């Protein structure tokens, strides 16, 4: 029969309550089926005293719960040795029920350690210890992510350091968060991937260790520089010209130009009519700003209009020649990057792969910097990777067979067509991870 603590094999002897807590004095109602020392089944047992032990349990009615267990000691009359009864509902090493430890493990991926400690009556250190013990099991038993066809390598700043981020570009999911972004670390991860030969494309930022790691580990994969990382350099060049123009303005004009910065950085075709008028005023007053703005717009147009890498290269060559000396300094970083990463940048036009989740990664960077205070990298990584509610796992196909007919009756069968359905785990959905965290 169930009781208030929902432990049917236990007898509640007394109940105490105050404003914050319950305490139930309980004892196990079933005798041991065998002697754990000699192995005799249904042995003759003699009660040999009681040991009192306090275990914490799941909250009830928003109150913390303590279970004062009267743990029975027995003496086996077959082997004359003494033992204490085993408590299958209690955790082996924590002074808590197994179900409370299970609850803490799951909640630790979604909530702060302090909030869980406050709810269940443990110290924050105890919650942290349960979390740390949980991590190896998560790593071991977590379903292996499908090796993506299109793999992304990016980075976010976590606990003060840039960390390599592995993504599934096709599914827009987070697959792994690396301890750092070094060539050695990335190579170690890539070489450990199952079926890595299936990776066709790798989208990345212009970071030399990433390129070297891919060439070493995935020699057949095509590297594609995400266009976001390229076109934003054109915006950076325009912004540099804006800042140089701003130096010669009055304080009032400076403030206004600063506030109108985002009008300059947006595409002209996306501006509302009133914003276009403001833009025309600024460009009409400052010829250098007009030149830089036109260069930015025409550079973006390459990525919109070119149909192949060869066409894009031709358009870029013409664009580069059109840069006048007075603003060439501002576009130097962009032209140098394209010179150094020519093959990978123009590969985009033959393989239209892009990290559509870049803004979500930027949001994650800001978020982890805020919530990461007081947490280790391992804790932040676990909260991001192992939050089961965010993993994209397609439902297995319908697997119940049609009942077999036998005369006038229907005979059901437990056989599954093709064996157990395979569930693919693509990783954590990036677009919703920031919202959940």
The answer to whether residue 153 scores a pLDDT higher than 80 is yes
pLDDT digits (tens, 9 = 90+) for 286-332: 899 999 999 999 999 999 999 999 999 999 999 999 999 999 999 99
**Averaged pLDDT of the chain:** 84
Closest CA to 293 of 258, 331, 251, 255: 331
Q: What angle do CA 356, 360, 362 make, to 5 degrees?
A: 110
The answer to whether residue 41 scores a pLDDT higher than 90 is no
Contacts of 334 (CB under 8 A, 6+ apart): 230, 233, 234, 236, 237, 299
Give the side-chain half-sphere CA count within 13 A for 40: 12
Say what the pLDDT of residue 411 is: 40
CA dihedral (373, 379, 380, 385) in degrees, to 10, reads -170
* Band of pLDDT at residue 349, cut at 50, 70 and 90: very high
Three-state SS string over the chain comes to CCCCCCCCCEEEEEEEECCCEEEEEEEECCCCCECCCCCCECCCEEEEEEEEEEEEEEEECCEEEEEEEEEEEEEECCCCCEEECCCCCECCCCCEEHHHHHHHHHHCCCCCHHHHHHHHCCCHHHHHHHHHHHHHHHHHHCCCECCCCEEEEEEEEECCEEEEEEEECCCCEEEEECCCCCHHHHHHHHHCCCCHHHCCEEEECCCHHHHHHHHHHCCCCEEEECHHHHHHHHHHHHHHHHHHHHCCCCHHHHHHHHHCHHHHHCCHHHCCHHHHHHHHHHHHHCHHHHHHHHHHHHHHHHHHHCCCHHHHHHHHHHHHHCCCHHHHCCCHHHHHHHHHCHHHHHHHHCCCCCCCCHHHHHHHHHHHHHHCCCCCHHHHHHHHHCCHHHECCCCCCCCCCCCEEECCEEECCCCCCCCCCCCCECCEEHHHHHHHC
Say what the pLDDT of residue 82 is: 86
Rounded Cα–Cα distance for residues 152 and 205 (Å): 9
Q: What is the pTM of this model?
A: 0.73
163 strand-pairing partners: 156
Say what the pLDDT of residue 143 is: 53
Q: Which two tokens stand for residue 246?
A: 């701003």
Region 386-394: mean pLDDT is 60
Contact 202/209 with Cβ under 8 angstroms? no
Say what the pLDDT of residue 402 is: 53
Say what the pLDDT of residue 433 is: 65
Instruction: Look at 126 and 173; give whichever has higher pLDDT.
Output: 126
Say what the pLDDT of residue 299 is: 98
Rounded Cα–Cα distance for residues 333 and 287 (Å): 22
Lowest mean pLDDT among 54-58, 124-128, 141-145, 201-205: 141-145
Say what the pLDDT of residue 397 is: 57
The answer to whether residue 87 scores a pLDDT higher than 50 is yes
Contact 206/154 with Cβ under 8 angstroms? no
Q: Where in the chain are the domains?
A: 227-349, 391-436
Lowest mean pLDDT among 248-262, 286-300, 312-326, 374-388: 248-262
Instruction: Look at 376 and 64; give whichever has higher pLDDT.
Output: 64
Say what the pLDDT of residue 293 is: 94
Region 237-244: mean pLDDT is 93
Rounded Cα–Cα distance for residues 50 and 47 (Å): 8
Contact 177/152 with Cβ under 8 angstroms? no
């Amino acid at each position: 029969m169930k009781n208030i603590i929902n432990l049917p094999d236990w007898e509640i002897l007394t109940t105490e309550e105050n404003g914050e807590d319950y305490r139930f004095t309980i004892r196990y109602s079933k005798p041991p089926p065998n002697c754990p020392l000699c192995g005799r089944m249904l042995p003759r047992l003699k009660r040999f005293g009681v040991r009192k032990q306090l275990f914490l349990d799941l909250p009830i009615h928003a109150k913390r719960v303590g279970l004062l267990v009267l743990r029975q000691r027995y003496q086996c009359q077959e082997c004359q040795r003494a033992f204490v009864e085993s408590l299958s509902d209690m955790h082996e090493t924590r002074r808590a029920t197994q179900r409370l430890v299970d609850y803490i493990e799951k909640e630790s991926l979604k909530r702060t350690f302090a909030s869980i400690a406050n709810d269940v009556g443990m110290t924050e250190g105890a919650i942290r210890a349960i979390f740390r013990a949980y991590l190896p099991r998560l790593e071991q038993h977590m379903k292996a992510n499908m090796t993506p066809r299109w793999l992304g390598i990016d980075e976010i700043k976590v606990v003060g350091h840039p960390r390599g981020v592995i993504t599934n570009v096709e599914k827009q999911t987070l697959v792994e968060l690396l301890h750092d972004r070094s060539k050695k670390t990335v190579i170690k991860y890539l070489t450990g991937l199952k079926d890595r030969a299936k990776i066709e494309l790798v989208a990345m930022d212009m970071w030399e260790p990433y390129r070297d790691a891919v060439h070493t580990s995935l020699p057949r994969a095509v590297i594609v520089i995400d266009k976001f990382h390229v076109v934003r350099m054109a915006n950076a060049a325009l912004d540099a010209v804006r800042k140089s123009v701003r130096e010669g303005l009055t304080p009032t004009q400076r403030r206004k130009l600063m506030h109108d910065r985002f009008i300059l950085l947006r595409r002209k075709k996306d501006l509302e009519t009133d914003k276009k008028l403001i833009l025309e005023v600024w460009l009409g007053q400052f010829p250098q700003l007009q030149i830089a703005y036109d260069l930015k717009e025409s550079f973006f147009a390459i990525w919109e209009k070119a149909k192949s890498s060869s066409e894009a290269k031709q358009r870029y060559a013409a664009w580069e020649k059109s840069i006048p000396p007075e603003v060439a300094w501002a576009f130097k970083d962009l032209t140098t990057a394209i010179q150094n990463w020519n093959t990978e940048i123009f590969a985009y036009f033959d393989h239209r792969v892009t990290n559509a989740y870049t803004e979500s990664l930027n949001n994650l960077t800001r978020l982890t910097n805020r919530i990461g205070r007081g947490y280790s990298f391992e804790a932040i990584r676990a909260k991001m990777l192992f939050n089961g509610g965010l993993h994209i796992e397609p439902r297995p196909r319908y697997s119940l067979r049609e009942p077999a007919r036998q005369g006038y009756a229907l005979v059901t069968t437990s056989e599954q067509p093709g064996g157990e359905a395979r569930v693919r785990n693509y990783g954590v959905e990036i677009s919703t991870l920031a919202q959940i965290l």
